[in-house]
Amino acid sequence: MGTKMESDLQKKLTNELEKFQGLQKDHQKYIKARQVLDGQLSENTLVKEELDRVESSSNVYKMIGPVLVKQDIAEAKEVVQKRIDYISGEVKRHETMIKDLDQKQESQKEVLQKLQTQFQQMQQKVAAKS
C-alpha cells in the first residue's frame, strides 16, 4: 500500500464530493425557483378570484408600463387562467426535478460514504505499517 493508491482514492473522493456539491447547488436553485412560482401562482389565483366577483358590465384595466388600458373582462379572465395553467405546469416540472435531485443526492451520499470508509481503512493500514 503506497501513497499512489491513497492519492488516487483521495482524488476520487474529491471528485465525488464536487458532484455532490453540484447536486446540492442545483437542488437549491430549483427550490428557489419553485418558491417564486408559488408566489406567482398565489398572486394569479387571487386575481382570478377578484375577476370572478366582478360583474360582466364592469370595467377592467390592464397595466402596460405606466399606462392603464381598458380590457375585456372575458379576455382578462382567459389570460389569467392561461397564466395559472402555465405556472401550475412549471410547479409540477420543478417538483419532479427536485424529487429527482433528492434521489441523486441520496445516491451520491452513499458513494461518498463508501469512499470515505475505504479511505479511512487505507489510512489505518498505512498507519499500522509505520
Question: d(Cα 58, Cα 56) in Å, to the nearest integer?
Answer: 6
User: Domain residues of the chain, as ranges?
Assistant: 41-130
For cell 408559488, the residue is 38
CA angle 25, 27, 31 (to 5 degrees): 120
At 30-60, the pLDDT tens digits run 999 999 999 999 999 999 999 999 988 889 9
Sequence-distant contacts of 4-7: CB under 8 A, at least 24 apart: 5/122, 6/119, 6/122, 6/123, 6/126
Q: Which one, of 52, 81, 47, lies nearest residue 62 by Cα?
A: 47
pLDDT grade for 1, boundaries at 50, 70 and 90: very low
Question: d(Cα 48, Cα 2) in Å, to the nearest integer?
Answer: 69
At 66-104, the pLDDT tens digits run 999 999 999 999 999 999 999 999 999 999 999 999 999
**pLDDT for 127:** 78
Question: d(Cα 119, Cα 130) in Å, to the nearest integer?
Answer: 17
Neighbours of 44 (CB within 10 A): 20
Topology of the domain covering 41-130 = Helix Hairpins (1.10.287)
Residues in the chain: 130
* Cβ contact 74:58 at 8 Å: no
Residue 2 has pLDDT above 70, yes or no: no
Question: d(Cα 68, Cα 63) in Å, to the nearest integer?
Answer: 4
Q: Which one, of 123, 115, 112, 122, lies nearest residue 18 by Cα?
A: 112
